[in-house]
Structure 1
Amino acid sequence: MTAEAVIARMTPPSLPDWVFPPPEGFVAEDLDHIPDLPAHTELIDGSLVFVSPQRYFHQSVIRRLCNALEDFLPPGHEVVDNMSVKLARQQRPEPDLMVVDPHANFDLDVTCFQAGDVILAVEVVSPDSELRDRERKPVLYAEAGIPHFWRIEEVGGKPAVFVFERDPGTKTYALAGVHHDRLKLTVPFDIDIDLTKLCKRRTR
């Protein structure tokens, strides 16, 4: 019996085809055409990455940060969540949120943005994504030319924002500061956000 026949006998018929990637890996455009792909699937280094159920901290910080950023956006810019960005042929991650500039394609049927459209990418670290959010994704964002990156961590039950700026000489991010209670910046645009409100439950 051939190896292919053994695999065929061992493989449950209910498994979708994308469980077995092509030898060369997936490419960014595949995410738009693979049927029944779980929501928020990312493509990193040609491999599909699936998202685990998120904690309340993660969801609360993203939603409230999106709302807070809306008050500071320059004209024509948009803050976007639940969408991916194409960084390279086999790199299409989904930042927790990103700010895109006015030159982006905002057609209603767009499924991802291009790296050149993004001025800020933000990741909120979760237990299942620590390595990707702290190490791999920042490298990919910087290599693709995204000028600003924020990594948000839970510290003492509150969000701490690690702010990074891209060094065009080395094409890597340099830490520009860590913010705990207040995020006040002048780049990529003027921002002044009370971080203590990002995950605080509302009382009736």
Structure 2
Amino acid sequence: MSVAPRTSTPDWPIPPEGGWTADDLDRLPNLPPHTELIDGSLVFVGPQTLFHSRAVSFFEWQLQSLAPAEFEVIREFTIDIDRQNRPEPDVIVVRGDVVDDPEQTRYPAEAVTLAIEVVSAESVSRDRETKPLKYARAGIAHYWRVENEKGLAVVHAFELEPTTRAYTSVGIFRERMKVSAPFPMDLDLTAIKARRSGE
């Protein structure tokens, strides 16, 4: 007895004419965690490395401990840039007055003062080219890109130049990152690769 081969097609969402919108991210069923919307297209995130996880945790906790009371530090949360762009930075610093609803799923870009992206193998071009351009145009004052350089964190820090609405570099940091904006910080970047006790 022969069995006919099963033909199955992936159950991918079919985009509407003109692409998906920011509101669609809240309505589409069964999307993978951390799905982003870039230029009307859904972007699915691949598995993350241990370095990525540790870097995100490091910046989340360090910034939470240093941020003034008027700011909140949130990890892996989408921001509204426009109708067709709702990216999810790894860490954001937002004004505390927009963090008021436990059911909210995004923050307005104008409330974000810092966006941090930890680069993964599958996100290099998005984190180096696509997202910084969109963040700058949305008026996000600070952008940090964190790269893995042989197991060590290197932070490329940028600040928005208000006249051109483009980012300008304020430094490349290895081992130690000392900055005064968006608020004073002195970070030991070597802690990102530090092994936890018992490992």
TM-score of the superposition, structure 2-length normalised? 0.93
Find 2:68's aligned residue among 74, 77, 80.
74
1:1-204 map, 5 Å: 12=8, 15-16=11-12, 18=13, 20-204=14-198
Following TM superposition, by how much is the alpha carbon of 1:82 offset from its aligned partner in structure 2, in angstroms? 2.0
Unaligned runs of 5+ in 1: 1-10
CA distance in 1, matches of 2:167, 2:83: 22
Following TM superposition, by how much is the alpha carbon of 1:123 offset from its aligned partner in structure 2, in angstroms? 0.3
Equivalence for 2:4: none
Secondary structure at the counterpart of residue 181 of structure 2: coil
After superposition, give the CA deviation of every residue in 1:70-99 in whole Å (9 maximum; x if it has no partner). Answer: 121011311101210010110000001100
Equivalence for 1:8: none
Secondary structure at the counterpart of residue 34 of structure 2: coil
Following TM superposition, by how much is the alpha carbon of 1:66 offset from its aligned partner in structure 2, in angstroms? 0.9
Unaligned runs of 5+ in 2: 1-6
After superposition, give the CA deviation of every residue in 1:137-196 in whole Å (9 maximum; x if it has no partner). Answer: 000000000000000001131000000000111111011100001111100000011000
Contact 1:65–1:198 under 8 Å retained in 2: no
Secondary structure at the counterpart of residue 108 of structure 1: coil
After superposition, give the CA deviation of every residue in 1:22-71 in whole Å (9 maximum; x if it has no partner). Answer: 12000000000001111100000000000000000000110122111112
Secondary structure at the counterpart of residue 177 of structure 1: strand
Following TM superposition, by how much is the alpha carbon of 1:203 offset from its aligned partner in structure 2, in angstroms? 2.7
Contact 1:163–1:176 under 8 Å retained in 2: yes
After superposition, give the CA deviation of every residue in 1:89-117 in whole Å (9 maximum; x if it has no partner). Answer: 10000001100012314210000000011
Moved over 2 A (4+): 11-14
One-letter amino acid of the counterpart of residue 75, structure 2? D
Following TM superposition, by how much is the alpha carbon of 1:13 offset from its aligned partner in structure 2, in angstroms? 5.8
